[in-house]
Amino acid sequence: MMCKIETKVLSVASAKAPFEKTTMERRELRPHDVLIEIQYSGICHSDIHSAHGEWGGGMFPMVPGHEIAGVVAAVGAEVTKFAVGDRVGVGCFVDSCGECEYCLSGEEQYCTKGVVSTYNSLDYDGNPTYGGYSQKIVVTEGFVVRIPDGLPMDAASPLLCAGITTFSPLKHWKAGPGKKVAIVGMGGLGHLAIQFAHALGAEVTVLSRSLDKQAEALSFGADQYFATSDKETFKSLAGRFDLILNTVSANLPVDAYLSLLRVDGTLVNVGAPSERDQYHVFSLIMGRRSIAGSLVGGIRETQEMLDFAAEHGIVPQIEVISADQVDEAYERVLKSDVRYRFVIDISTL
Ligand code: NAP
Ligand code: ZN
C-alpha cells in the first residue's frame, strides 16, 4: 500500500497574492489512478482570472494549472490505459460522473453532476483539487490523454487547454473548406485557433487590436489579418463570416462583431471575461444570427486534437520560464506581452 504522495507546488494564499513555493500531498493511488511527474505546465489566462478571484468563488490556497504535460511515474493496480514512462497530458478537468448523457457521449465538461476541475474545485469526496503548477499529480486514468511522440513535451502542454478549447468549437461549428472563419484575439488560444482553422481547410481571418502580430498570424496560416482599432475594418468586413471565434479575455462591443456575420452566422465565445456582455437583439434578428459559447472539450476529442496537431505539425509558440518567474509572467500576459504562451519548466520548482 502506498502512502500519500508529497509534491512541491506553486500556490497563492489568497486572491492576487504572489506565488509561493510550498509542498502538499496528493492522494495515494487508487486502482485506476495514474501518478504523473509533471515536466511542463502552461499558463492559461483562466489561471489568472482564477488566481485573481475575478470569477468569484475562488478556493485558496490555490495551485492553478490545467495545461499539464508529464510522464507516468506509477500506476494503480487496475490501470490498463497507461504504463510507467508514458508521455501524458491532463487538461481542465479530472473527473465527472461517468453516467449522465453528456459523460456517455464523451462531453464530460458538461457533466450534469458537475465536472471536477483540475484546480479550484472540489472532487466528489469533497477535497479541493490542486493543479499543474506542481511536480506530481494523481489523476484517474480516464482523464489522462497520451501525448503523441511527434509533439515536444514543452510545446504540447498548452494544447491541453488552449488547443482543445479552440479545436472543439471549430469542429462543432464545422470550420472547413468553403467556410469563412474569423479568430478574434491572438493570444494563447487565438494563435492555436488560427492553426487549427487553417488545417481544417477554412479561410481564416485574424482580428487583432493592432497590426503587430500580422506577420506571425500569416505564418500560422491566416489568409487575412485586420486591426480592430481601425474603424474601416468593421465597414469593409460587414456580413463576411460564417463563424467568429472570440478568444478575448475582456468584453468586446458585441454588436460590432455580430455585424461581421453572414445570415445564419454564429459568434462563438470562448473568451471568458468576468463582466456581462451587452448586445442589441436586432443584431441577431436582422441576420438570423446566433451567439454561442463553448467550454474546453471532452477527453476523446482532446486525444483527437493532440493526434491532429501531431499529424499537421501544429505546435504552440511558447516562452519557457522558471518557477520563480510566474508572477512576472502573469503581469506580462495581462499586457498581452507574450508570444504566445508561457510554459513553466517544472524541474525549476
Ligand atoms: P491571452 O493569451 O491573454 O489572449 C487573449 C487575447 O485577447 C490577447 O492576446 C489580445 O489579443 C486580446 N485582448 C486582451 N485584452 C483585450 C482587450 N481589453 N480588448 C480587446 N482584446 C483584448 O488569453 P488566453 O489564455 O488565450 O485566454 C483567452 C480567454 O479565454 C480568457 O478569458 C480565458 O479565461 C478564456 N478561456 C476559456 C476557455 C473555455 O473553455 N471557454 C478555456 C480557456 C481559456 P490581441 O492582442 O491580438 O488583440
Ligand atoms: Zn485554460
Calculate mean pLDDT across residues 168-181. 98
pLDDT confidence of residue 304: 98
- Sign of the alpha-carbon torsion through 265, 168, 54, 97: positive
Report helix, strand or coil for 251.
Answer: coil
pLDDT confidence of residue 56: 85
Question: How far is it, in rounded angstroms, from Cα 219 to Cα 319?
Answer: 18
Ligand 1, residue 334: give the atom nearest the CA. 3
What pLDDT digit, counting tens, does each position of 291-341 carry? 999 999 999 999 999 999 999 999 999 999 999 999 999 999 999 999 999
pLDDT confidence of residue 215: 98
Give, using CA atoms, the residue closest to atom 25 of ligand 1. 45
Q: How far is the CA of 46 from the centre of ligand 2 (A)?
A: 5
Q: How far is the CA of 77 from the centre of ligand 2 (A)?
A: 31
Quote the percentage of the chain above a pLDDT of 90.
98
Residue type at 26?
R
Question: Has residue 2 got a pLDDT over 60?
Answer: no
Residue 49 Cβ contacting ligand 1 at under 6 Å: yes
Instruction: Point out which residues pair with 269 in neighbouring strands.
Output: 246, 293
Give, using CA atoms, the residue closest to atom 31 of ligand 1. 249
How confident is the prediction for the chain on average, in pLDDT? 97
Report helix, strand or coil for 257.
Answer: helix
Q: Give the least confident one: 55-59, 87-91, 159-163, 240-244.
A: 55-59
pLDDT confidence of residue 57: 76
Query: What confidence tier does 1 reach under pLDDT thresholds 50, 70, 90?
Result: very low
**Is the pTM value of this prediction over 0.85?**
yes
Question: Has residue 242 got a pLDDT over 90?
Answer: yes
| Residue 249 in grid coordinates | 479575455
Residue 189 Cβ contacting ligand 1 at under 6 Å: yes
What pLDDT digit, counting tens, does each position of 44-60 carry? 999 999 999 999 879 99
For the chain, strand residue ranges (E) read 5-11, 20-26, 33-42, 68-75, 87-90, 93-95, 116-117, 136-140, 145-146, 180-184, 203-208, 224-227, 241-246, 261-269, 290-293, 318-321, 341-345
Query: What confidence tier does 280 reach under pLDDT thresholds 50, 70, 90?
Result: very high
pLDDT confidence of residue 4: 85
Residue 44 Cβ contacting ligand 1 at under 6 Å: yes
Residue 39's alpha-carbon distances to 15, 29, 186, 261, in angstroms, are 26, 20, 26, 42
What pLDDT digit, counting tens, does each position of 109-142 carry? 999 999 999 999 999 999 999 999 999 999 999 9
